Structure 1
């Protein structure tokens, strides 16, 4: 029996319609290619070319290297459950099956992590490769594999690679994926064998996108060019500890034992603040140019899972059996990542036919194509989820360069150098020299303009003598060899809280909030990761590399990291808020938490359910994940409704907010208007005052065009850049800006409410004057975008999701982009809501990050757990499983998640047997 959604009909919504759409699209593509084949591509593509790479999912395949037969059971969504009798066979089969579905994606990822994209895509990727080679992710991954990882982890990585290579054996590119067939017209690239290090390196790419506050570090420094210390403080307010609860609410740091223990206690800590450069050290005047130039480099980098470090959040919470219908815990998780096609996640189960010393795994959940094991999910005993902790694990250092070295205190130290040769498809190779300081690689060497700026740097009295100028280096925990890959396998087989914490201790990077539940009824939380301690400074600003007092002094010990186990309140919520009150912990984990908007909303939803003895169900958890309530609307709308508006058209729009319940449903006209008002408030109050160099605020985002014609063509995949003022930065509108506005909302004459006159508008001096102008601007903005008749307005027409293949779907010929990309979907939700379909006010209203998957694990009956992916199991553009989960995901529904062998058998549609030779 196939898995069903939680919809009352038990059927997959719109299934027949989507199948017809796929057939029509495929017919059209084949017809188009038949016509233009000899002109555009120099060849003739047929249906067989399109389907050649589809995986075999039934029958038998013989694989050299297996010790016994392996069953691969796929459900009606193509999600595989693998059954084997040894660990090595299990992971070999995992490699084979993932390569069947997603090898092109895997191949692109490993070329990104190793700085070899130019080998696939030519000279357009040379700059990216230079930067990635400078960081040297693959070199660190190789060191981890050679010196850090356990023997068992190495065996599993080798088995996984063997499975991938068994799939590749004897195949040409066109036999592997449609993208290779298209790529073959541009260059003669041939896929190479997979290596264990290829899998390890992907963890570095993931960690890079989840790296913490590096962007805020740059932004604060750039703000000093136009803003004073108080203004910067206004824009980076303190975390609201008294209003939004931290993850860990009970416990204390025991200075006598150097451990974190549960209980009550207070240990005071402080934080430092500065402008431009950390501490009291004044910076060279060209630091601004150095940092804004670094933005240019960072902006162009391909992302692994996020928007280059922006907007990365997630929700995960767990409720104990005392508050659930089943009497056992429920655990929910939905990581917020960039939308991609295929999804960054790959669903699967890994099952030993009999658990034993030689076969130890019975686990199911989400992993990455290219990596063995399961990253998030559950086994037969425990479940776990992850959210980004935001721990500050990156620091930028301004280095004083002299000849072949850099200055530290009163000495000049020589650079560590290495030579990197970048091969370029269809072009000449390029060799670069990478220079490293004790703090890390010189990122500024990768931009010609930065090098010139560094050599011309003007020095003030507080910086060292001039010499050859300045550069910027990066210290990041991800550039130090660790054993995070060990943690994946340790989590997958952990059976209780103690083993779970032991596994977490191996999770060096990224530092993720880990939530826990088990079938015995326990719940917990652990903060893992290598989190640095600093001599001076708090990591909030770039540090002077010439002063050793700003060096890292070590890492917070595992025993010192905050945790929570079976708290009395009966639930734990993590949604990127502060881990622990700063007055209860002696270390600075970060100065840049999320501000707790989502986490407090989830807490309030749980509290409302359990008051007076209420119980929570799996369906309640799903409904919480879909909560669309706008917290900033609750604050602003009452004030917006009190403003007298003379213009009848603006008054008509204002009336949309009367009686609005603040939910941002796709069909809500009020949500469309309010979000436009919010965007215009930010633009007027802050946009003209921020330095234009700020990257997040000012970047031109790759977002969808607004729907100006009513219902969109379902096959439209062309993306345009969102509009923004060219001469000023714009706030992104996230929950930091919620807090900024909350702090000044009752100060009606605050300087931030002043905005200059324009050709058509008078200057504003007060809050209500600015709000009135924002309401007017929003009315005419939406008139231009959605039409004058407000009865046709809705949030979904503005807030749309397009899914793009991350390579040829961006940069390929138009017809290839048409073949590979999908969308749009009109979405509910919004920025800093629990249903976090994020948008960036700097670039428009299009969706730029999403709940990349959703799951609810039922520890009372694992077969009653639910899950969904953003796209589908397959990376093949015309597979039935390319985007077969997207409509269901967009509707907020979940699929049944079979785990036991009986449930898996009942949901199996196809069975493939892999046999040893």
Structure 2
């Protein structure tokens, strides 16, 4: 279909946003007011109708997106992708929750099953209502969306991806096998410091990270999953606020997607009045405020998963050692329907007492089983927000977080009474004889999870004298008794936020906006100091060195130093780490987490890093890598340094799923490229991969002054709708590009004033 025809067809199937729609399944009329920014404000007369309407409205805006997500979660991608989706389906089914469903539903809140039923009934009502007038993506791919079941809200795929530690365990084991314990500790230190010794009985030769993680990598290839490293949040108490009430800021980061990962909604019914963002495939609001409290989150990096190396029987790979005995694996047989094939694919899913077998090496008689929080009741990501949405005070907020299992989140809190707080919300295992950094032997029973921390044992703060801020960094108090994690994001973002929050005076929402978009890199400042430690031989490189030495670390869009900094940092990481490890391990040690390891080593060079004459070797590396960076910047941007700009290199493109399948569709579906400021280490975290295209960022931002809910601000991109010709497909992108916000309106009066569309949903 030509692009013009595609656009016209897209317009013909746009969702109805005004007038009346009569539906089976509703008890009472529901009013949906969309404001000028596309945020639906849903006013219902009872809880069932509220969530029925939320499902219906989410499907209006995001049906293709949520259908893909459902398929990824339950393992039905091969039905539309053919054989290319088989491995993704296998892994999704492997990590599916297999426990008691009654216990699962009750763990979120007593009425979660009813809410999920109403929500999915609403999605199905929309599918029935539109008939063949499906969003254009279904026509392009020639398939129809599946009907939903309540259990489709219980998927585990997003949670397993965010359980990052188990993905690092085999890489750390490989590092120790390659360079030894001492050098591994130097190149990839634990925080707080730890010996980092593999457990007794672990044969490092058994560990092949690429093979162990192949299933996970295949399962996530279709969607740009990422953890939210880059997220920031903070809360300021009433004494530091100009309004006399707390201020709360949050900007959870994830992969850049189109449509956005987040969906904004306002839910209003008896017992409900909550607004903010969530994921369109789930009921409720994950991050926002109700009438009395506000909250926001960032990943806290709690270690919620372990790999167990099981010894399998040499004559029967479905039996594995437990102590002195051999136990049978639990085996589940399933079938996958594959597009283009007349025969389903037969799957054999294997489980040990520790969890699903994600990889098996029969030549070595080894199986790798995943023990993770997602295997426990209540492990579906974000569904416990249904309890948080209804909390009215600190005690109820903490009580609701007993139900929050994963992902692990720094939950910051504020209420209209002037209180602020923070809880490290997560189902947090207590390990026996294990620090969680390596795979552990599964047979001897010496490395089992003993229990989970109670809510009173989790790290938390209530009413500190000034503020609370988190940025995926190690936020644990020095005297905290439990080892919940040893791997965190670099703390540069946190320390820059702290610099801003410690300035004298009182704060406003304008100040909060400025901090969220702060593009000062403290890592860049450290590197600028190193630029004074040497000189360059050629004139252009020496000019750049002097320019760099005078740099304040500001990665603004028009920064001339920005491109040079990015190329130099990449060259330094390559030079400093490749002298110690193989190419296979470079992503593990020399990624973003390698920067706070490398910069101190460059500042105080040692023989362990740089050989017999460490200072001379350090200076050689600094000089030659800078000269390399100058040459690469010239190649990328031209020889005229006056026209160098960071946003010419550092851009973001919002890619729609269909554009990856058909490049001719890119102009219709994609948006961008857009020049960006910042990098992965600034508060304005715009993480990139070489050649510097942004891959993750703020999926949503909100700012609340608890003195006035209608003063709340938000930003999201590119828009609320996933339908390409909708007015709300990309209408928020210009604001987002300009670092501006739109009002997140709460009172009925303010919503009425900004109303753009009115839809009445009525029962038949």
Aligned to 2:207: 288
CA distance in 2, matches of 1:386, 1:910: 31
1:483–1:506: 8 Å Cα contact kept in structure 2? no
Aligned to 2:686: 837
* Cα-to-partner distance string for 1:330-382 (whole Å, 9 max, x where unaligned): 10000111000000000110112xxxxxx210010001111111110001100
Q: How does 1:305-316 map to 2 (within 5 A)?
A: 307-309=225-227, 312-316=229-233
CA distance in 1, matches of 2:9, 2:95: 39
TM-superposed CA distance for 1:271, in Å, is 5.4
CA distance in 2, matches of 1:81, 1:695: 48
Check 1:483–1:671 CA distance in 2 against 1; reply closer, same or farther (3 A cut): closer
SS at 2:22's partner residue?
strand
CA distance in 2, matches of 1:295, 1:677: 31
TM-superposed CA distance for 1:600, in Å, is 1.8
Aligned to 1:809: 659
Q: Which residue, 244, 268, 277 being the options, matches 1:366?
A: 277
1:305–1:338: 8 Å Cα contact kept in structure 2? no
Aligned to 1:70: 30
Check 1:75–1:765 CA distance in 2 against 1; reply closer, same or farther (3 A cut): same
TM-superposed CA distance for 1:191, in Å, is 1.6
Aligned length: 759
Normalising by the residue count of structure 2, what TM-score does the alignment of the two structures yield?
0.95
Check 1:367–1:165 CA distance in 2 against 1; reply closer, same or farther (3 A cut): same
Aligned to 2:673: 824
Aligned to 2:80: 120
Is 1:855 the counterpart of 2:750? The answer is no
CA distance in 1, matches of 2:737, 2:440: 44
2:492–2:521: 8 Å Cα contact kept in structure 1? no
SS at 1:689's partner residue?
coil
1:363–1:377: 8 Å Cα contact kept in structure 2? yes
Q: CA RMSD in A?
A: 2.3
CA distance in 1, matches of 2:363, 2:122: 54
Is 1:916 the counterpart of 2:763? The answer is yes
* Cα-to-partner distance string for 1:404-423 (whole Å, 9 max, x where unaligned): 31112211111011012111
CA distance in 1, matches of 2:730, 2:610: 45
Aligned to 1:662: 553
CA distance in 2, matches of 1:665, 1:863: 31
2:95–2:157: 8 Å Cα contact kept in structure 1? no
Is 1:876 the counterpart of 2:723? The answer is yes
TM-superposed CA distance for 1:210, in Å, is 2.0
Q: How does 1:147-546 map to 2 (within 5 A)?
A: 148=107, 150-172=109-131, 175-184=133-142, 189-201=143-155, 204-239=156-191, 273-274=196-197, 278-283=198-203, 285=205, 287-289=206-208, 291-302=209-220, 307-309=225-227, 312-352=229-269, 359-402=270-313, 403=316, 404-427=318-341, 428-445=343-360, 454-457=361-364, 469-482=365-378, 487-546=384-443
Aligned to 1:599: 494
Structure 1 segments unaligned to the other structure (5+ residues): 1-29, 35-44, 241-269, 353-358, 446-453, 458-468, 698-729, 756-762
TM-superposed CA distance for 1:141, in Å, is 9.3
* Cα-to-partner distance string for 1:442-495 (whole Å, 9 max, x where unaligned): 1114xxxxxxxx2333xxxxxxxxxxx112111111022227676322211111
CA distance in 1, matches of 2:670, 2:179: 43
Check 1:154–1:489 CA distance in 2 against 1; reply closer, same or farther (3 A cut): same
CA distance in 2, matches of 1:422, 1:383: 43
Check 1:140–1:669 CA distance in 2 against 1; reply closer, same or farther (3 A cut): farther
2:379–2:405: 8 Å Cα contact kept in structure 1? yes
Is 1:796 the counterpart of 2:631? The answer is no
* Cα-to-partner distance string for 1:34-80 (whole Å, 9 max, x where unaligned): 7xxxxxxxxxx465422132111111111122222111111112211
TM-superposed CA distance for 1:618, in Å, is 0.3
1:321–1:328: 8 Å Cα contact kept in structure 2? yes
2:202–2:441: 8 Å Cα contact kept in structure 1? no
Aligned to 1:701: none
CA distance in 2, matches of 1:106, 1:695: 35
CA distance in 2, matches of 1:394, 1:79: 36
SS at 2:425's partner residue?
coil
Aligned to 1:653: 544
CA distance in 2, matches of 1:486, 1:667: 41
Aligned to 1:717: none
SS at 2:55's partner residue?
helix
TM-superposed CA distance for 1:660, in Å, is 2.0
Aligned to 2:622: 771
CA distance in 1, matches of 2:693, 2:124: 39
CA distance in 2, matches of 1:593, 1:874: 34
Normalising by the residue count of structure 1, what TM-score does the alignment of the two structures yield?
0.80
Structure 2 segments unaligned to the other structure (5+ residues): none
Check 1:585–1:384 CA distance in 2 against 1; reply closer, same or farther (3 A cut): same
CA distance in 2, matches of 1:749, 1:388: 34
SS at 1:766's partner residue?
helix
